[in-house]
Chains A and B, each alone.
Chain A
Amino acid sequence: MILTTRGLTKAYAGVKANTDVDFDLPAGQTRAIIGPNGAGKSTFVGMICGRIPATRGTVTFDGQDVTALPAHKRIERGMAYTFQITSVFPGLPVRENVALAARRRLGRNKAAVQDKTDEVLSRLNISERADQMAGDLSYGHQRILEIGMGLAQEPRLFILDEPTQGLAESEVEEFNTLIKTLDAETTILLIEHNMNVVMEVAEYITVLDQGMVLANGTPQEIRANAAVQEAYLGSGHA
């Protein structure tokens, strides 16, 4: 297991966003987390990467208890994270956005940073926008850029919070292709609303509902799961 959580709980002023979440993610898997709005998905991954302090419970990454580590130390150990609400450096060129992500790991090795940056830019087909300000990009391209910043870190666990939200149909297609090629390189933890994406890329699915794990299973199992249908229908979601 590259990632394990036990009893992970988050309480906001008495309201529990996550309750005793036990979660196991084998290395190399592409896992989707689904669930209705407000189910606690973002809170859960926030506690994994250290952005949100857990009320209680443990997070084990790569065999080591990282519960007490601040976010930047967890990232340093090989996690990467993209925000649900796009978060780039708007006032910096696209190239520098990616370079900042690569540089943290590659340090002062200028050539390596440059190579990694070029590689990521061309992989995501945004090379020709390299000198534009990130803030001037379209929404879709900003999302793609943020994914690029994740790739530049060569993470061992790549956490993406609703990456296809607001993307055009064609962009979603490209995203699916990208995730499939990444599948062989790293472990992916993907929060996703778009069921087409989930069914296409996920090897395994965890369903959260009201802050608790409702079900785990393969896409086929989840599709057939009555409780899951109930949760989604109950909140008016498809």
Chain B
Amino acid sequence: MSDTHKSHGLHFGLIGLLALAYFVLPAYHSGNLASVMVIAIYAMGYNLLFGYTGLLSLGHALFFSAGLYGLGLMMHLADWTPLPAFAAGLIAALVVSAVIGFLILRTTGVAFMIVTLMFAQAGYLTILYFGKYTRGDEGFALQQASRQIAGYDLSDPGVRYLCALVLFSVTLLGLAYIIRAPFGRTLVAIRENEERARMLGYNVTAIKLKAVILSGVVSGASGATYALLFGYAGATFATVQYSIFPLLWVLVGGAGTTVGPFVGALFMFYLIDYASGKTEAYLLVVGVTLVLVTLFLPHGIAGTIRTRFLRWLP
């Protein structure tokens, strides 16, 4: 079996397993899994830039929120139906990531991190500033009646699960394809040695801009999906915390692996769920776990499996 076949097997296997999980798991857990799949889309978008291109952003909440509010505001204020509103979410994320990408790619390294953080903070403040429409931190709910596609109620757990699964699968397979395609290979080349890539004749800046945009749009798709399936948009999603989350998910799951973002999001979701049920100081538990993971699994869960056992892991 070639590596390509193995990686198809892995991806379709994971998707099949998730489909099966809906019927096997109790409602509480399948509800959780729907959330995990949606945030895993965010993590996969982040991973494209961080894990594959080697650019560490601390401002991805901005792209997530662009999708969240792009869809949310159009449904809330303009009474758009879900599909056009979803498109609006994607376009909002596209525009924001193109503009921000153009500006931030003038910097590298620590400056890049700080500038992304700064822009995300500016985005957060903008959402608060237009509180009249966005309702700021408090946010707004999307009416159940408006969250319907072709008569299917997106607040129904089964429909919601299916929706999350479809979008998760499309993102997983799409990104896995891109990673193997020439474009994805140049991203990895830039991560590995940017100067060498440039001196092979690659337009590194243009490629990085494309990566920021793609990463931003996928993150925005996650935000739009979140608002649509869970019926809520609020400025909390634009805070620094939500920029740090995808970094943690990806680090824990395995940066630069296709399934790592999902694994990390799943692990962290249940860790927080479990720890917050046990103690007020659950963030401490989370912090300690992260330290342990970074110490003992420096490549994350999937990354370590790749280094130790399965060299073919995509």
Residues of A bordering B, CB below 8 Å: 49, 51, 70-72, 75-76, 81, 83, 87-92, 96, 99-101, 103-105, 107-108, 149, 153
Contact = CB atoms under 8 A, between A and B. Distances in A.
13 contacts: A51-B195, A71-B198, A72-B198, A72-B202, A72-B204, A83-B195, A92-B188, A100-B186, A100-B189, A103-B185, A104-B200, A104-B201, A108-B182
B29 interface: no
A89 B192 contact: yes
B313 to A, nearest CB: 14
A117 B153 CA distance: 53
B199 interface: yes
Contact of B185 (A51, A91, A96): A96
Contacts of B32: none
Question: From DSSP, what is the main secondary structure of chain B's interface residues?
Answer: helix
B196 interface: yes
A100 B197 contact: yes
B20 to A, nearest CB: 35
Interface of B: 182, 185-186, 188-189, 192-193, 195-204
Contact of B200 (A92, A96, A108, A149): A149
Contacts of B200: 75, 100-101, 104, 149, 153
Given A100-B186, A107-B182, A108-B182, A87 B196 contact: yes
A70 B199 CA distance: 10
Contacts of A72: 198-199, 201-204
The 3 closest A-B pairs by CB, nearest first: A75-B201, A89-B192, A87-B196
A86 B186 CA distance: 19
A89 B187 CA distance: 12
A25 to B, nearest CB: 19
Nearest to B256: A91
